[in-house]
Copies of this chain bind each other. A is one copy, B any other.
């Protein structure tokens, strides 16, 4: 199987049904396939060869959809870039992957000259916009118009489908290598659960399309032959309007987004009755939010997906019916039909039920490995199981409760933030002597990036100054929302910062 298979199926079964709706622009499967076949030809004419990496740095649109299809059609490999990353991080992902062609929309086009300087391997930049292509870039629509369609290379199976960069525990991002089979295993497994989708879905891309979570919604829509609806990026106004106008049936959100939608002042002026299923991930959903959401979206069922990029990304699911049990709302669900999930101790022996250990998963959705990182790959996949780095326990009914992220990762507003990355950035501020970054519970963001800072005795600074400094180095969402100054950090005998202790102080404050 291969990522373009759904497009071929649509061509065979409903070529003239709407495949994409993007603002005023609507295209059928036949039109999409023609454009994809031409874009693939254009990529090959830009010397993209089998296995070459092609990146995209853009907001959501029907052109992102075409990119996801044209790259495998041309026998190449995807590299969807995190649009919220800093310049340095984006440069790293392009350089590390050896990307040769980059597609950029107007939102990010200004970055191009600097990216070119940073990544000499970048042979061509395609401007994905409606206006004139800036000098030195190639026009997307022009390429499609000029190129003659080629046959699909039908890249698939165990071959590399894409590199998906994730922030690393060590502070350096890693390129997660996922095959076509990996991505389709998660898609079929999640869909087979029966809790999401059906035929005739209209799926709204409300979360960013570079993200693996939205990619599963994309892939499920493809294999079942639904219609994709796009908003450029998440805004309450745009999402509510798109659901109402285009009779959206399914979407994927993170709990923070759901809260923002529910807080929209004009919420009840939008007809959300078409919504049948909301997938969410990244964190549990607070009960109050769920109750409000059920009222506002009366015909929608809620399904939680838990996993990570390395699991393409689905490991466990919490079904709509399970959402009616308040005790289960805090958990991440149970192993999906295609996945094996366990909780293990440091020796990789299975823990007794109820005992906290590391959550591990096995199955056809486990990544091929980290790009050019054989040691990290071997460590993560030791014994054939993907070690998530998440601490959790399993109850007697197989429900997985995540209690701690062993990798020191914070999930804020649906984004993964590794503490080490933030600490590295803060530490570069001249006033900082030591610092520790933790996630603290936050009603809006799920978790909030919080920095505990010890300043040098002779230099004064402020929380705002620390935040501003950090944002010059890493993505804005990774900068600490709150900064706390202290005289000393709790340190273990081995000299390690006792973050556990810092977190406890914060949960006690809340309690």
- A-to-B contact residues, CB < 8 Å: 1, 5-6, 8-9, 12-14, 187-189, 191-195, 197-199, 223-224, 319, 321, 334-335, 337-338, 340-341, 363-364, 394, 397-398
Checking B12, B194, B197, B364 against A199 with a beta-carbon cut-off of 8 angstroms, the contacting residue is B194
Show 5 A/B contacts (Cβ-Cβ < 8 Å), sorted by A. Answer: A1-B363, A9-B335, A191-B337, A194-B194, A195-B199
| 8 shortest interchain CB distances as A-B pairs | A13-B398, A12-B398, A194-B198, A191-B192, A188-B188, A223-B337, A192-B192, A188-B192
Q: Which residues of B contact A192 (CB under 8 A)?
A: 187-188, 191-192, 223-224
Is B334's CB under 8 angstroms from A8's CB? no
Distance in Å: Cβ of A477 to nearest Cβ of chain B = 30
Residue of B nearest to A17 (CB): B397
User: How far is A335 from B199 in the complex, measured between Cα atoms in Å?
Assistant: 13
Q: Which residues of B contact A193 (CB under 8 A)?
A: 199, 224
Is A364's CB under 8 angstroms from B194's CB? no
User: How far is A310 from B259 in the complex, measured between Cα atoms in Å?
Assistant: 50
User: How far is A319 from B224 in the complex, measured between Cα atoms in Å?
Assistant: 12
Residue of B nearest to A396 (CB): B15
Q: Which residues of B contact A199 (CB under 8 A)?
A: 193-195, 319, 321
Q: Which residues of B contact A187 (CB under 8 A)?
A: 192
Q: Knowing that A9-B337, A193-B199, A199-B321 touch, tell me 15 more A-B residue pairs with CB under 8 angstroms.
A: A5-B340, A9-B340, A9-B398, A12-B334, A12-B394, A13-B334, A13-B398, A14-B397, A187-B192, A188-B188, A188-B189, A194-B194, A194-B198, A223-B337, A224-B337
| A338 with B1, Cβ < 8 A, contacts A319-B199, A398-B12, A398-B13 known | yes
Distance in Å: Cβ of A324 to nearest Cβ of chain B = 14
Residue of B nearest to A156 (CB): B364
Q: Which residues of B contact A189 (CB under 8 A)?
A: 188
Q: Which residues of B contact A5 (CB under 8 A)?
A: 340
| A188 with B338, Cβ < 8 A, contacts A14-B398, A319-B199 known | yes
Q: Which residues of B contact A364 (CB under 8 A)?
A: 1
| A8 with B340, Cβ < 8 A, contacts A13-B334, A14-B397, A188-B188 known | yes
Distance in Å: Cβ of A468 to nearest Cβ of chain B = 41
Checking B13, B194, B340, B397 against A197 with a beta-carbon cut-off of 8 angstroms, the contacting residue is B194
Is A335's CB under 8 angstroms from B223's CB? no
Distance in Å: Cβ of A506 to nearest Cβ of chain B = 24
Q: Which residues of B contact A194 (CB under 8 A)?
A: 191, 194, 197-199, 224
Residue of B nearest to A189 (CB): B188
User: How far is A337 from B224 in the complex, measured between Cα atoms in Å?
Assistant: 6
User: How far is A297 from B364 in the complex, measured between Cα atoms in Å?
Assistant: 38
User: How far is A225 from B187 in the complex, measured between Cα atoms in Å?
Assistant: 19
User: How far is A9 from B363 in the complex, measured between Cα atoms in Å?
Assistant: 12
Distance in Å: Cβ of A323 to nearest Cβ of chain B = 14
Distance in Å: Cβ of A401 to nearest Cβ of chain B = 14
Distance in Å: Cβ of A189 to nearest Cβ of chain B = 7
Q: Which residues of B contact A1 (CB under 8 A)?
A: 338, 363-364
Residue of B nearest to A5 (CB): B340
Residue of B nearest to A400 (CB): B12
Q: Which residues of B contact A341 (CB under 8 A)?
A: 12
User: How far is A192 from B199 in the complex, measured between Cα atoms in Å?
Assistant: 10
Distance in Å: Cβ of A76 to nearest Cβ of chain B = 21
Distance in Å: Cβ of A364 to nearest Cβ of chain B = 6
| A397 with B13, Cβ < 8 A, contacts A191-B192, A194-B199, A194-B224 known | yes
Q: Which residues of B contact A340 (CB under 8 A)?
A: 5, 8-9
Residue of B nearest to A196 (CB): B194
Distance in Å: Cβ of A14 to nearest Cβ of chain B = 7
User: How far is A155 from B409 in the complex, measured between Cα atoms in Å?
Assistant: 36
